[in-house]
Structures are given as structure tokens and as C-alpha cells.
Chain A
Amino acid sequence: MNHGIWPALCGATRYEFRMQLRRKSVWIATFVASLTVIAGLGNPWNFPHDTALPVVVAQWAVVCNAFLPIVFGVLLADRLPRDRRLHLPELLDALPAPSGSRLTGKYFGSAVATATPIFIIYFSGIIYMLADRHDPLAIPLGLSAFLAINLPGLLFVAAFSIVMPAILWVPLYQFLFVGYWFWGNLLSPSYGIPTISTTWLTPRGSFAAAGFFSHADEIMTMGGSTGSTWEGAASIALLLCSAALALFIAQRYLNWQRARQ
């Protein structure tokens, strides 16, 4: 028997993905929230045909990243406390698999599962663009926009939504997270309230959209950013590193908690 990190991580990812994907609330909540996306501006069908395809794709990715990550974060917040509620830690802690593999597997598995309906909604828009413009470039552009604009932000949100409930009551975290999202991502600096919505740390993907797809949205423009390629890359790197750091600290904290029982 091999009690390595990778097999346990892959196993945990696979089964956490499966469990989260089977939750009806993941599908219902995301599709209900998608009504705000479909009803809002910036949809593929709201752009004139002479707008460049990368701009339309990037705008659609940013629009999907405006509200859907709120549902995404809220739906992930119960994953760690759920194990405690189901009395699973005692069983799992008696297994030889490293606890870090289980946490990381839970992170990847449940994050990808919760992102699946978001991807379906997003990709439906890309399919619309393909049908509307008859330009096959919509597919690779759509995929790369999702990877650059949506995914880093979702991974950032997932890390905090998985680990923060280790120290916070889930409903309190969910409340604070929704507040953070509006303050830190959707609040325009024109209101005069300090916000991080125009910094690299915004998981909305504005910097990647501007840097890689020449699409600078209103909030970012007001923050005075030019949105260069290197800023887009820096924003992605910062989001991913923050996520990794959050997971690392959470793992150390959980180990410390176990040791002092």
C-alpha cells in the first residue's frame, strides 16, 4: 500500500467533485443567479456586429464574473463544516492519507463542480456568438477567456470559501463574503469609498480582460488603470498565490487544531 500525496489528492478531488455536482442547490442557485447575467447588459446579443470578437468574448466573461461568483462562494462555504456535521473527521483522521491531500482535493473537486454550471452558462453565450457570427475563433477565444478571466477569480474565491469556515460560522462567512464581493469588486471608485475593486486583487478578472483581450471595463477605467498585459498576468498570479497561501495557512491551522485536541 502506498500512502502518497498524489493518489489521495486525486481520489479526494474525484469524490468531492462528484458529491458537489450532485447537489441540486448548485444547479438551481447558479441558474437562478444567471438570470441577472442574461437580463443585464454586456451579453453577446447586445453588441453590434462590428465589435471585435475578443472584446465581446471578454465582456461576456467579465459579465459572468460579476454576480455568479457570489453564488459560487456561498455554495462552497459549507464543504469543510459539512464533514464535521456528518461526524467524518474522526474516521478520516484515522486514515493514513495526508490531511493536506484531502483538503486540497476538497478544494479542487468542489470548486470545479461548482464552477461547472457557471461554465455551461458562459459557454452557452460563446455558442451563441459562434452561431451569430459564424466565426469558429469564438471557441478558442471563449476557452482562453474563461481560463484567464474567470478561472483565477473562481479559484481565489473557492480557496477562501473552503478555508474561512474553519474559523467562522458558515452563515456569518456567507454574509461577509457577499458584502466583500460588492465592496471589493463592484464598487466604483467614483463613490469616494476606498475599495480594492481597481487593484490586481480583484477576482472579477478586469485586469486579465484588459491585458489580454483589450477590454477595459468602466470600473477599471475609473481606477486609472491602463490594463496592460503584464498587469493582467500579475493579477492572475496574485489571485492564484493568494489562494495557495490561504490553503497552506488553513492546512497548518487544522493540523495545529488536531494536535491540541
Chain B
Amino acid sequence: MQIEIQNLTKIYNRNVRALDGIDLTIPNGMFGLLGPNGAGKTTLMRILAGILRPTSGEIRAGQIDATTDTGRQAIKAILGYLPQELGLYPDLTAREFLDYIGILKGLNDRRARAQRVNELLELVALDDVAKRKLKTFSGGMKRRVGIAQALLNDPRLLIVDEPTAGLDPEERIRFRNLLSDLGGDRTVILSTHIVEDIAQTCRNLAILGKGKLLFEGTTADLIDAARGKVWTITTDGPKPDGDLIVVSTLHLANETQYRVVGDATFTSGAQPADPSLEDGYIWLMRAARSEVTTTFPRL
């Protein structure tokens, strides 16, 4: 299902412009939404999930006009949503919580619902703790309950907002793999500020900054945009300065190796490096901050 967003604007309290004229096409499959904190990602996710109403603009999800009350209700019927701040009822067990959410999703056949709950508990590897109360679960286990509840109705549209925040590396990798598997036959929107999550799961992405769309394209496009702008500098002297951003610092035996993003004019001894998605993102955000929009056109 393709989602078309046109001129979407959301203004809070009459003066806080969280989204400012967003035009975006989200194709079927995994789609990444990237941006710093406060970029408007969560607002966009909430509007797409039918929780918030936009101030203006149009959203079409397949044949559904998602800006009307009827459309929002229709979206909710095909939606799986994992919010950034996932709330769970601590006094319910994992199975009870999923059963309750299943009822609220309209899975009214008790036997079919129980079967679906069991399938999902197995999918997220929580079947052995299904009878434990949620207040005893770790952050990673709660996230897995979150993804299970989102999948209960086999949604055609899955929205996950900052799903790996607070997870340890192993949990994060497990979660990414799970999302990748889900992206095959549905639209999955992954909103995050962690570039690596997008790099490992999405082919298409968009970047938001201060409520505006800064980039829309493929991960390869974003990587290409930083080509020729990424360098490694190995030195025993001070940290390189100038018009550049240090992306990483590696301490060697007697020297320090810096990976930097910037123009080539800043120093001698810099070796060009292959850009990563993170480099592309850093380059884009740098350009956005400098308002050098002409050097970084929307792709």
C-alpha cells in the first residue's frame, strides 16, 4: 500500500509548527524516517496512525483518505502501531495483554484470537514467559510485546516509532531482523534517530528536520550524496578543526584516527574514505544547518 502525503502541516497551540508543508510518498515495503529529536517524526507518525489530526494537507493511504474521520477509522482497522513511549498494563500477563488488545482490534472470535496470540508470542520469543506479569519484563521484552500487539491484526500498514530506543545491542539486532522479515508484504514505516537501524533495514527513507522534509530517496542516494566528503585523518596532534564534523574517533597505539565529514580544503594528510549512511546523514544535516540547500538538492 502506497501512502501519498501532500502539503501536510501540523501546528500546535497556534504557533508551534511541528510539520511544515510535507510532501512525501511512502512506497510498499520498509521505509525509514530519520531525523534529530524534535524534527517532527513522532508527529508525522501520530497523524498517520490517526491519533492526531493535521492542521492542513492531504494523506492518502491506498484508496483511503486519511484526513477524514471515516478515513482515520479505516486506517486504524489496517494499522499496527508501536508508539515511541509504549504503555503496557503492568498487572496483566503478556498473554492477557495481547488478548485484550486483540479484542480492541476487533478479533472477536475467541479461539482464533487465542491462536493468533500464541503465534505472535512464539514469533517474538516470549511464549515461555506468556503467563508472567508485564511488570516483571525487561525493556527489550516489553518492546517485543509491543511489536506482537502491533501485529495482532496482521496489519497492512505497520508504524514503529523509535522501536530500538533503550535496547541492548543484541536486542536491537534481533528487533531489526524481525522488522526486515515483516517488510516483505506490507508497508512498514520505521521512525528513528538511529541511522544504523535504517541502514540495516530500509531501502527507501526520508529525513525530517525542524518539521521540514530535507531528503527523500534511497539509502544509496544518501550515501552517494556524501561521496568525496568523508575522510580519515590519522594524527598524534590535536583534534582536526575547521569546517568539518568528526564522526568517529579511533585511538591507535600512538596516534588517533578521526573520521570526518566536510569539504576537502581543511587539512593535509586526509585520506578519502567510502561514505556510510551515517556519513550521508551527517553531511545532509550539516548542509541543512548551513542552509546550503543548493549544494544538496532533494533527490
Contacts and interface: CB of A to CB of B under 8 A. Distances in A.
A11 B79 CA distance: 20
B106 A11 contact: no
B92 A94 contact: no
A86 B87 contact: yes
B83 interface: yes
B17 interface: no
Given A90-B51, A94-B50, A94-B83, A8 B89 contact: no
A87 B50 contact: no
Contacts of A172: none
Given A15-B96, A96-B73, A8 B103 contact: yes
Interface stretch (A17-25, A32-40, A176-184): A17-25
Nearest to A101: B104
Chief secondary structure at chain B's binding surface: loop
Interface string B87-110: 111111000100011011111100
Contacts of B53: 259, 261
Contacts of A7: 103, 106, 108
A1 B51 contact: no
B49 interface: yes
A12 interface: yes
Contacts of A12: 100, 103-104
Contacts of A51: none
Nearest to A260: B53
B170 interface: no
A88 interface: yes
A12 to B, nearest CB: 7
Given A1-B77, A15-B100, A94-B51, A87 B108 contact: no
Nearest to A9: B103
A225 to B, nearest CB: 43
B125 interface: no
B106 A2 contact: yes
A215 B91 CA distance: 42
How many interface residues does chain B have, given as a range? Answer: 20 to 34
A92 B97 CA distance: 12
Interface residues of A, number: 31
Contacts of B85: 87, 90
Contact of A87 (B52, B87, B96): B87
A258 B53 CA distance: 9
A102 B104 CA distance: 9
B106 A1 contact: yes
A18 B77 contact: no
Interface in B218-270: none
B281 interface: no
Interface in A68-121: 83, 86-97, 102
Contacts of B83: 87, 90-91, 94
B92 A96 contact: no
A87 B86 contact: yes
B89 A96 contact: no
B31 interface: no
B263 to A, nearest CB: 43
Contacts of B50: 93-94
A40 to B, nearest CB: 33
B118 interface: no
Contacts of A90: 46, 51, 83, 85, 87
Contact of A86 (B51, B89, B105, B107): B89
B105 A95 contact: yes
Given A96-B105, A97-B104, 12 more contacts: A1-B106, A1-B153, A2-B106, A11-B100, A15-B89, A88-B89, A91-B87, A92-B104, A93-B51, A96-B76, A259-B53, A261-B52
Interface of A: 1-4, 7-8, 10-12, 15, 18-19, 22-23, 83, 86-97, 102, 258-259, 261
14 contacts: A2-B106, A7-B103, A7-B106, A11-B100, A12-B104, A15-B100, A18-B91, A22-B91, A88-B87, A89-B87, A90-B46, A92-B104, A96-B76, A261-B52
